[in-house]
Structure 1
């Protein structure tokens, strides 16, 4: 499952984070140390079956160092001294309840499934999303998720190098390696490869005693 094929699907995941973190900025003269995330990645494949599943989870936990209610900005610092100032959009209805010293937890999860579409199966290119937020007056929290599906057409195969050429909906093409355990043949030209990515972001705030 080539990484540059997976990157073609990640544009849609920006919508997941935008509802929670609209922008970020630091001082131009002395950029703050970047925040660190606890990242877990895994790839699952079935011998002889094209494609597979890639999963990635990233978690960030930080403390509110400073907050500007009028500008709707908050500066977060993690346990390693990493720092980031972010601007919170109007979707966060309980932003005024966030205080200096509060603990902010963000978790991002992404799963990308790549498979060869069965002959006669209908395509479902596009994106679908959902979002939720805490009730007004409740503890600050938010959730956003989206699923994106892209179909690429197999336009050629190179049996000697065990690669396939894929054409994406925007007309761009990429030559991608095929796993050694997957059989490659000229009969696969004209078949469709589906790249389906599901991503979600969850945010919560823990009030400090």
Structure 2
């Protein structure tokens, strides 16, 4: 829950820092997306003991044991590439729905089909809804009531479009999603570009 609280605080502060909006007649909203991709090469596979060694571009090698949850282990071969991508998306928006504060969490896991090279995608998403309980247009602050009933006041910077359209009872909805995908792919044959 501490991680969720820090994500919510970061989201609210990012809204107060800079918000992209079509025009001043709309309510504030913002989306931030970030991702990192990395890779390694399978340099050894021990099928009997279900272990494999990955070597990174910097030459560092690490050996891993494949647990029973790693389906299709037999499809891994030396020379295969392992590609991983970690992505985050955070959106914050204000709407006139007027619902109660709440937190919703979801997780989704997708694995490779039987017979394919091993791969997995894990995505976790959290949506937090807070309610605007007070707005001070002169001081440019907004007070939100969160799912646990606590209230906090946040400054809203001058550049935020649509702030003047916010009202007591509006919902502030913060959605945070993080996803990790790991896939084993066969090496590209020499002379062919991917």
**Do Structure 1 and Structure 2 share a fold, with TM-score over 0.5?**
yes
The equivalent residue for 1:200 is 179
1:152-194: CA deviation from partner (whole Å, max 9, x where unpaired)? 2234445455232333223455443324233546973332200
More displaced stretch, 54-63 vs 94-103: 94-103
Alignment map for 1:19-38 (pairs within 5 Å): none
CA contact (8 A) 2:88 2:176 kept: yes
Aligned residues: 174
Q: Pick from 20, 45, 57: which aligns with 2:20?
A: 45
In structure 1, C-alpha distance between the alignment counterparts of 2:177 and 2:127, rounded to whole Å: 9
Aligned to 1:8, the other structure's residue is in SS state helix
Q: Pick from 133, 137, 149: which aligns with 2:127?
A: 149
- The alignment yields a C-alpha RMSD, in angstroms, of 3.9
Larger radius of gyration: 2
Structure 1 position 78 matched with structure 2 position 56: yes
CA contact (8 A) 1:129 1:147 kept: yes
Q: TM-score normalized by structure 1?
A: 0.61
CA contact (8 A) 2:130 2:145 kept: yes
More displaced stretch, 86-95 vs 145-154: 86-95
Aligned to 1:182, the other structure's residue is in SS state coil
CA contact (8 A) 2:72 2:116 kept: yes
Q: Cα distance, 1:151 vs. partner?
A: 0.6
In structure 1, C-alpha distance between the alignment counterparts of 2:64 and 2:139, rounded to whole Å: 47
Q: TM-score normalized by structure 2?
A: 0.65
Q: Pick from 59, 62, 81: which aligns with 2:37?
A: 59
1:83–1:126: structure 2 CA closer, same or farther, 3 Å change rule? farther
Structure 2 unaligned segments of length 5 or more: list them.
11-17, 190-194
Q: Cα distance, 1:5 vs. partner?
A: 7.2
1:110–1:187: structure 2 CA closer, same or farther, 3 Å change rule? closer
Aligned to 2:130, the other structure's residue is in SS state strand
1:196–1:100: structure 2 CA closer, same or farther, 3 Å change rule? same
